[in-house]
């Protein structure tokens, strides 16, 4: 009897143990089978996982941008209804690679081009735009794509013409002295005419012929120191003739010496061969260009112009003594205008690098820089340089 109860109790205890083990195991199995709760890094069920993107600056580029261009041969030039030039062609190839369309706006001066880029009115500036601190404080720049610098253009005919001599004589105050000499010549002609009409019976009776004869005599004495008239009063007349010769020689020597000194001065002061010759001269520069900044920083007298045609015309008229600008522009202008007596002199005295200006509000700077670096690797930029500047010697 006791053994039966013990056996029954053992079976009941075994069932209780099984029930306890089963009760704890089932919830654990249920938790193991449930999917984990979605986190912020994992999408919920039914949503695709995000694919890591590449260069976000490139993928977020706009479909169309507004670009300001400044006409600056050979970097940007008008070509019918469109444009051409090294800078323009490079920009076109870059934007083609980025699948970006461009709307171009012509800007008359470099200063206005930088201002419009800084204000965000245009997205980029395309020309031979020099990279410097003053501009970099207002706009972004791409990787440089051309090495340039400042040089000097001069008028080869300056100082060799008649009007250059006249200006020199006037500046030296000699024209006033010449006016007094001319006045004395006129008075001497009238007095000699009156004198000969009274004492020379062979003197022409008509006034115009007599004045012409007397004027010829006076000018002969003034310019050659020779006396061509006859002696009317013997030894007294000889003395007066000698005095006339002394006066004529003095006038001739004065005119010759003053003209010679002025021509020498013009030859010395008008000679410009490098930047060291610029102090004391008035130079022409493009408005807003780095040449204007150079003139301001070095205390040079200068005049600003919107383009090289106006600057060269002013130099031909003597308003400026020389033009300072980007070497490639000056060299191209001299080459393209062989009818104008201009030449580019001296070495590059302020090396510069050109890049594209980008508005701070635009995200073009990085992708355009990457395209420029790629263009360097495949020698695309060198091909454009050779196209517009010729093969390197």
4 pLDDT exceeds 50?
Answer: no
Angle subtended at Cα 371 by Cα 360 and Cα 355, rounded to the nearest 5 degrees: 55
252 pLDDT exceeds 70?
Answer: yes
C-alpha to C-alpha distance for 234 and 255, rounded to whole angstroms: 32
Give the confidence band of 69 by pLDDT, cuts at 50, 70, 90.
Answer: very high
User: How large a percentage of the chain has pLDDT more than 90?
Assistant: 48
The per-residue pLDDT for 393 is 58
Give the confidence band of 39 by pLDDT, cuts at 50, 70, 90.
Answer: very low
213 pLDDT exceeds 60?
Answer: yes
Q: What's this model's pTM, rounded to 2 decimal places?
A: 0.62
Q: What's the first-to-final CA gap in the chain, in angstroms?
A: 124
pLDDT tens-digit map of 292-312: 999 999 999 999 999 899 999
The per-residue pLDDT for 8 is 43
The per-residue pLDDT for 2 is 35
pLDDT tens-digit map of 313-336: 999 888 999 999 999 999 999 999
Asked whether 104 and 90 are in contact (CB, 8 A), the reply is no
| DSSP string for residues in 315-379 | HHTTS-SEEEEEHHHHHHHHHH-TTS-EEEEEEEEEEEEEEEEE-TT-S-HHHHHHHHHHHHHTT
Give the mean pLDDT of the chain. 80
Domain boundaries, the chain: 162-269
Is residue 27 classed exposed, middle or buried when 0-12, 13-18 and 19+ CB atoms within 10 A define those classes?
Answer: exposed
Q: What are phi and psi of 62, to 5 degrees?
A: -70, 160
> In the CATH scheme, what is the code of domain 162-269?
1.10.287
C-alpha of 231 from chain center: 70
C-alpha to C-alpha distance for 59 and 127, rounded to whole angstroms: 26
The per-residue pLDDT for 110 is 93
Helix (H, G, I), strand (E, B) or coil at 186: helix
């Amino acid at each position: 009897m006791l053994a039966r109860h013990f056996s029954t109790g053992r079976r009941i205890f075994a069932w209780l143990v099984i029930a306890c083990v089963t009760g704890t195991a089932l919830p654990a199995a249920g938790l193991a089978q449930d999917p984990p709760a979605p986190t912020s890094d994992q999408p919920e069920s039914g949503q695709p996982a995000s694919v890591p993107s590449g260069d976000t600056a490139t993928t977020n580029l706009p479909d169309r941008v507004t670009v300001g261009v400044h006409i600056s041969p050979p970097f940007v030039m008008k070509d019918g209804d469109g444009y051409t030039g090294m800078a323009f062609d490079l920009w076109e190839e870059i934007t083609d690679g980025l699948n970006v369309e461009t709307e171009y706006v012509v800007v008359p001066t470099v200063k206005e081009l930088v201002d419009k880029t800084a204000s965000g009115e245009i997205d980029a500036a395309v020309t031979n735009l020099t990279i410097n601190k003053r501009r970099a404080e207002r706009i972004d720049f791409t990787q440089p794509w051309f090495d340039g610098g400042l040089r000097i253009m001069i008028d080869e005919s300056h100082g060799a013409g008649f009007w250059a001599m006249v200006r020199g004589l006037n500046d030296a105050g000699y024209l006033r002295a010449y006016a007094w000499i001319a006045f004395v010549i006129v008075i001497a002609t009238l007095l000699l005419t009156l004198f000969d009409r009274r004492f020379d019976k062979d003197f022409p009776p008509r006034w115009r012929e007599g004045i012409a004869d007397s004027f010829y005599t006076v000018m002969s004495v003034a310019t050659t120191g020779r006396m061509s008239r006859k002696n009317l009063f013997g030894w007294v007349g000889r003395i007066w003739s000698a005095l006339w010769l002394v006066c004529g020689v003095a006038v001739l020597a004065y005119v010759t010496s003053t003209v010679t000194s002025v021509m020498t001065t013009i030859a010395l002061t008008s000679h410009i061969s490098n930047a060291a010759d610029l102090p004391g001269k008035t130079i022409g520069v493009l408005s807003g260009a780095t040449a204007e900044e150079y003139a301001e920083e070095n205390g040079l007298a200068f005049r600003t112009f919107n383009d090289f045609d106006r600057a060269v015309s002013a130099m031909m008229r003597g308003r400026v003594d020389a033009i300072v600008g980007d070497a490639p522009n000056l060299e191209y202008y001299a080459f393209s205008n062989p009818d104008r007596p201009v030449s580019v002199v001296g070495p590059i005295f302020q090396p510069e690098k050109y890049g594209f200006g980008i508005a701070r509000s635009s995200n073009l700077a990085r992708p355009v820089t990457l395209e420029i670096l790629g263009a360097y690797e495949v020698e695309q930029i060198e091909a454009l340089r050779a196209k517009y500047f010729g093969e390197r010697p």
